[in-house]
Structures are given as structure tokens and as C-alpha cells.
Amino acid sequence: MTTKYSTKPAPIGVFDSGFGGLSILREIRKTLPQYDYIFLGDNARAPYGNRSYQLVYEFTLQAVKHLFEQGCHLVILACNTASAKALRSIQQRDLANLDPSRRVLGVIRPTVEQIGKITTTRKVGIFGTPGTVQSLSYDIEIAKMHPDIKVFSHACPMWVPLVENRESDGPGADYFIKKDVEALMAQCSEIDSVILGCTHYPLLYDKIKKYAPTDVKIIEQGPIVAQSLKDYLERHPEMEQRCSKGGTCIYSTTEDASRFSPLASIFVNHTVNAQHVIL
Ligand code: DGL
């Protein structure tokens, strides 16, 4: 099959609805600094967490097509909501028409693979967006891979808006995080590990830790997804060769770039000069 996209080696695409994907990108770049990356945040349309399946799917497909048009052979959906609601359709239906040699990977499976090694009580908590929690993606994947683990989920509809509206450090964040952490922990006193099942939530890590019982492990996905990508590239040398190596990162956002760049710079710890894109 001929492809409509460039076949030259190209950056790895990393997509999220907004700032959250930067928590994944930062860890991927620490683990795999040699590759080039394009980050795309759909900040203008975030949050995705309350949106319908159809909309999350349409927005995610637009983002994937955009990153393919930039030449990316491999795209990471650094977003649980998109991984839960759009990944399967894109992998099973759209890739065949777009370009079957390109790959789109999500963040839920690598997280679920690791959780079996982390929990001792086999009682695991999940914080996620309403979309991720309602999709039952974690419950289904964990039941398949670790049938002995019992899952307790809690949706936190206010957490992503707190991050996207730069309120992560304010007292409003304390109010909602305390309330949601208590609601999850009230479901079962034996929960020993809690997955931050939304890539925005590591940006609220200190406050989540503050309100969670001290012996409960709070699991961030960044290091897990980074290691899983490293393993994937080792297992797939044909894809590894198609990822360009220059250590660069282009940042793009559907929001006004001058609004995105200052906060993104804080999250990734270096100066970001993002480009505005239209999907
Ligand atoms: N950061 C995303 C996730 O991992 C989506 C958050 C949102 O847009 O609601 O689910």
C-alpha cells in the first residue's frame, strides 16, 4: 500500500487533551532522550473527561491524523480518556485506511500490566475522569490480566479543570482533592495502591499525597509508560528505525500558544515556545 504520509524517519507523537500529557512526555524524554518528539495538546477543547464517546473519538482521530501528517510513525495517546474511548476504534478500524504501518499506543494497558507487581492487598483504587471511570476500561483490563485484584474507582470531574485553569496550587484544589481522596478511600480500607488514571493528575501529586493515608502508594503513569515504550521499541526494531534521533521536541497546542507556553515551561522544566495548530 502507498501511504499519503512521509516515510522518512520522524519524531514520536505524544498527544493529550491538554497539559496532562506533559507528565508523560517528561518521563519518556528522561528514559529515551535520543529521539525527537512532537507534543500536541488539544487545550482549546479540554477537558475531554465529560465528553461523549463520539466526540472523544472524533477529536482523538483528528489529533492522530495531524501527527501522521507531521510525519510521525508512532503516536502515544498520553491520555486515559482517549485511550479508553478512542484507541481501540483507531487501532482496529482507522489505521487500516490511514496507514497500516503506523502505530498508535495508549497508557491504560502498560499501567495495568504493572499494577499486579505493586499491590500486596490486591485492592486497588483508580482516580480518573468521568469518561475513563464510566468506560470501565481499568476494571475490564485488570480483570483480564489480574483476576484476583479488586478495583475501586472514583471519578474526579474537577481535577482536570483545576490544572487547565492554573488553579492546582490554590485552596480550591485542596477542597476537591481532600473530598475525592476521602470518597475513594471510604470504599475500602484495604486499598494499598492508587493509580492516577488521568495524565493531568501527577500535576496535583503533592496534594493527593497530602490527603491520602501515608501507607497508600500513589502510582503515576509517566515512568511506567516510558519503560513500556522503551520495551516496545526494543521489540520492534522496524519502528525504532523510523523514529528520528536528534533529541528535539516541538510543542503544539490548539490553544493560543502564548497562554500554553508559560505553564508548559513550568511542567517540563525548560523554556517552551509552542506553535498554535488547528485540527
Ligand atoms: N489527561 C487526560 C486523561 O488522562 C484527559 C483529561 C481531560 O481532558 O479530561 O484522561
Q: What is the pLDDT of residues 207-231, one digit of tens each?
A: 999 999 999 999 999 999 999 999 9
- How far is ligand 1, taken at its centre, from the CA of residue 129, in Å? 6
Residue nearest atom 2 of ligand 1, based on CA coordinates: 79
**16/150 same-domain check:** no
Query: Looking at residues 259-268, what average pLDDT do you find?
Result: 91
Q: Are residues 76 and 17 in the same domain?
A: yes
User: How many Å apart are CA 171 and CA 247, to the nearest integer?
Assistant: 38
The percent of residues in the chain predicted with pLDDT above 90, rounded, is 96
Q: How far is it, in rounded angstroms, from Cα 252 to Cα 277?
A: 6
Q: Residue 1's pLDDT band (boundaries 50, 70, 90)? A: low
79-124 pLDDT, tens digit per residue, is 999 999 999 999 999 999 999 999 999 999 999 999 999 999 999 9
CA pair distance 227, 221, nearest whole angstrom: 10
Same domain, 204 and 134: yes
Domain-ending residue, one of 200, 221, 242: 221
- What total number of domains does the chain contain? 2
CATH of the domain at 234: 3.40.50.1860
Q: Any catalytic annotation for residue 243? A: no
User: Region 3-19: what's the mean pLDDT?
Assistant: 95
- CA pair distance 91, 62, nearest whole angstrom: 14
pLDDT higher than 70, residue 2: no
pLDDT score for 164: 87
The reply to whether 30 and 166 lie within a common domain is no
Within 6 A (CB) of ligand 1 lie 16-18, 20, 46-49, 79-81, 129, 132, 160, 198-200
Query: Is the pLDDT confidence value at 8 over 70?
Result: yes
End position of a domain, from candidates 221, 243, 267: 221
Task: Look up the pTM and report it.
Answer: 0.95
Residue where a domain terminates, one of 221, 237, 262: 221
Whether residue 16 lies inside any domain: the answer is yes
Mean pLDDT of 1-10: 87
Q: Which residue has the higher pLDDT, 110 or 4?
A: 110
Centroid of ligand 1 to alpha carbon of 132 (angstroms): 8
Distance CA 79, CA 93 (A): 20
Q: How far is CA 56 from CA 11, 17, 53, 194, in A?
A: 24, 9, 5, 25
pLDDT, the chain, mean: 96
Whether 31 and 117 map to the same domain: the answer is no
Q: 35 lies in which domain range?
A: 12-106+223-276
**In the structure, what pLDDT confidence band is assigned to residue 166 with cuts at 50, 70 and 90?**
confident
Mutate to test the pocket of ligand 1, among 59, 126, 162, 200 (most ligand atoms within 8 A of CB): 200
249 catalytic per annotation:
no
> Is residue 234's pLDDT more than 90?
yes
> In ligand 1, which atom is closest to the CA atom of 107?
4
